[in-house]
Amino acid sequence: MKKLVALIAMQMVLTASGQPVNNANTFLVQPTITRDGEGFTSCGIRIVAGALGQAATSEMYDFGLSVWEDGSVLFKAGSHTVPFDLKKGWDVKKLKPKRPAPNSFWMAKRDDETTLKPLRISPSDDPGFSIGIVDTAAGIGMLRAILDDQAIQLSLSYGPGHLERIVALQPKMADEDKLTVEACFSGLRTRMKSAPPPR
């Protein structure tokens, strides 16, 4: 109990003095791919990460980055609340999207000062999520960093009066999933090269 009180006190000090960076203690990294009768239409990666504690509810942060056949890169973000029980732990079957959707979000490689942020942010069709277009080269570079298991930081902000949430993690995607994403990239490049020039 004393350790828990000390931990809470330390967290309050960090919060008062600057932005706390929480290390994710659970995460999921998975491919996100769409295709039609002509082949791949988008290739991306989704990261769901949480710095979960023994509170009645915790948050899990949900980020997706995808490159599309027209060369655009979309960045989508939101979060879920997840209930915690001392006996059963976290009940991920009861994830609920947090509302409203974030008004700002970013992703960065841990040792790089460059931050990937959407140029414009709009509400997503999925409740509790926002979406925006990012610079193509920077977006593809970030996807490559994730495939290379580089350490990254993710952030969500919900506007004035809300503490910006920053989560650090080193995503580890399964080798089989990496091959799936690489195959998608290859197919998407082939499709983009064979597409007729715009009129």
Backbone angles phi, psi at 110, to 5 degrees: -55, -40
Q: Note the pLDDT of residue 118.
A: 96
Most confident of 4-13, 18-27, 86-95, 181-190: 181-190
Question: pLDDT, tens digit, for every residue of 145-173?
Answer: 999 999 999 999 998 877 788 999 999 99
pLDDT at 59 over 50: yes
Q: Check which CATH number belongs to the domain holding 27 and give it.
A: 2.60.40
Q: Note the pLDDT of residue 146.
A: 97
Backbone angles phi, psi at 177, to 5 degrees: -70, -35
Whether residue 47 is contained in a domain is answered as yes
Q: Which one has a higher pLDDT value, 166 or 134?
A: 134
Q: Note the pLDDT of residue 94.
A: 80
Torsion sign over Cα 158, 162, 164, 169: negative
Q: Note the pLDDT of residue 199.
A: 61
Whether residue 120 is contained in a domain is answered as yes
Supply the range of the domain harboring residue 72: 17-194
Whether residue 2 is contained in a domain is answered as no
Query: How many domains does one find in the chain?
Result: 1
**Global pTM value:** 0.84
Whether residue 190 is contained in a domain is answered as yes
Rounded-to-integer distance, Cα 92 and Cα 59, Å: 11
What DSSP string describes 103-167?
SEEEEEETT-S--B--SS-EE-SSTTEEEEEE-HHHHHHHHHHHHTT--EEEEEE-STTSPPEEE
* Cβ density class 150-171: b for 16+ within 10 Å, e for less: eebbbbbbbeeeeeebbbbbeb
Query: In the structure, what pLDDT confidence band is assigned to residue 2 with cuts at 50, 70 and 90?
Result: very low
Whether residue 5 is contained in a domain is answered as no
Cβ neighbour number for residue 144 with a 10 Å cutoff: 11
Nearest Cα neighbor of 156 from 167, 172, 142, 140 is 167
Q: Which one has a higher pLDDT value, 95 or 5?
A: 95
176 neighbors 190 (Cβ within 8 angstroms) = no
Q: Note the pLDDT of residue 13.
A: 34
Q: Note the pLDDT of residue 197.
A: 66
pLDDT at 112 over 70: yes
Hey, what are 197's tokens?
Answer: 């020039």
Query: In the structure, what pLDDT confidence band is assigned to residue 198 with cuts at 50, 70 and 90?
Result: low
Whether residue 10 is contained in a domain is answered as no
- Residues of the chain with pLDDT > 70: what percent? 86
Q: How many helices (H) and strands (E) does the chain have?
A: 3, 12
Nearest Cα neighbor of 116 from 95, 137, 86 is 137
Question: pLDDT, tens digit, for every residue of 3-29?
Answer: 333 333 333 333 344 678 889 988 899
Question: pLDDT, tens digit, for every residue of 41-54?
Answer: 999 999 999 887 66
Whether residue 4 is contained in a domain is answered as no
Mean pLDDT of 128-139: 97
Whether residue 26 is contained in a domain is answered as yes
Q: Note the pLDDT of residue 164.
A: 83
